[in-house]
Structure 1
């Protein structure tokens, strides 16, 4: 799906690198980590983009575990179902691709769940980092496995829960 126009851009410094947030006037379009330099922030920042930045700052400060930023409805119906299932995994907990497929009522969709997880445009806000391998190993994350591990450890401390044997 092509990006809507206009897009507004805001950068947020986090303990694990700069995140670039993009939005329409009313919905967050993407949240991703940058590996290199970045463009400048938009001169005008819509409320939804400011809200996303505020909530991310609260999350990294350890005072927020969930997000309620309005998201731009991109992706297929199946992807949107997976992304909604990701939002049901509480901070400090994890699931795996088969577990998500089972919860969605389709155990044959493990690879499709993995692909939809990898296509998530809203890193951290839609917690695809909470999905690990069936044997408890860290697997794929668009922000890098080191960030995934950091996020899981951060959430374990923040929530007071820790699943033994994750890594």
Structure 2
């Protein structure tokens, strides 16, 4: 319980292997709340510390099977067998404009497609806010599932990526995206 008598969310986590390296997955009772790249040693500890402080809960290694669906769907995605994630998501780690942009990205940019930062800004009613969209991508707590790797520069450049540009290239290639300017 917190100081207002509300129960704290419970957070379960697990590190799972993937085609792009170990991923730390975390879920609350609402759904998947976090995906972290390169989830070894210090990255894992920083991610767990962040979940602890931002959600007000002590993350525990998965015991209830809450992550089973996420593990299954990510495995199918990396095997090329899944194009659309159907997981319940907990949006607690994003808010405001960032949440609006991430929701539009998740709903409106399908597997195998890319979108420019500026175009995504226009879709959420903020033309000219391409840099703010870039900040939203950088704060995405659910990469891969909410596909920030599909957001690229208008001229075809990769742009940035929290998991590193090589990881972004590999995710795009997995989805069959190979335009020359991207590589």
Distance 1:14 1:24, change over 3 A: same
Distance 1:106 1:13, change over 3 A: same
Q: Are residues 1:92 and 2:108 paired? A: no
Instruction: Note the residue ranges of structure 1 that are not aligned, 5 or more in a row.
Output: none
RMSD: 2.1
| Structure of larger gyration radius | 2
Instruction: Measure how far apart 1:97 and its partner are.
Output: 0.6
Per the alignment, residue 51 of structure 1 pairs with 69
**8 Å contact kept, 2:24–2:39:** no
**8 Å contact kept, 2:23–2:39:** no
**8 Å contact kept, 1:26–1:46:** no
Instruction: Note the residue ranges of structure 2 that are not aligned, 5 or more in a row.
Output: 1-7, 46-59
State how many pairs are aligned: 159
Which structure ranks higher in relative contact order (CA pairs < 8 Å, sequence separation ≥ 6)?
A: 1
Distance 1:162 1:149, change over 3 A: closer
**Deviant stretches of 4+, over 6 Å:** none
Per the alignment, residue 11 of structure 1 pairs with 15
Per the alignment, residue 101 of structure 2 pairs with 82
Q: Distance in 2 between matches of 1:43 and 1:72?
A: 16
TM-score normalized with structure 1 length: 0.86
User: Counterparts in 2 of 1:104-123, with a 5 A limit?
Assistant: 104-123=124-143
Specify the SS of the correspondent of 1:152. helix
Task: Identify the range of structure 1 (132-141 vs 27-36) with the bigger mean alpha-carbon deviation.
Answer: 27-36
Query: Which residue of 42, 67, 70 maps to 2:88?
Result: 70
Per the alignment, residue 50 of structure 2 pairs with none
Instruction: Measure how far apart 1:45 and its partner are.
Output: 3.2
Distance 1:91 1:162, change over 3 A: farther
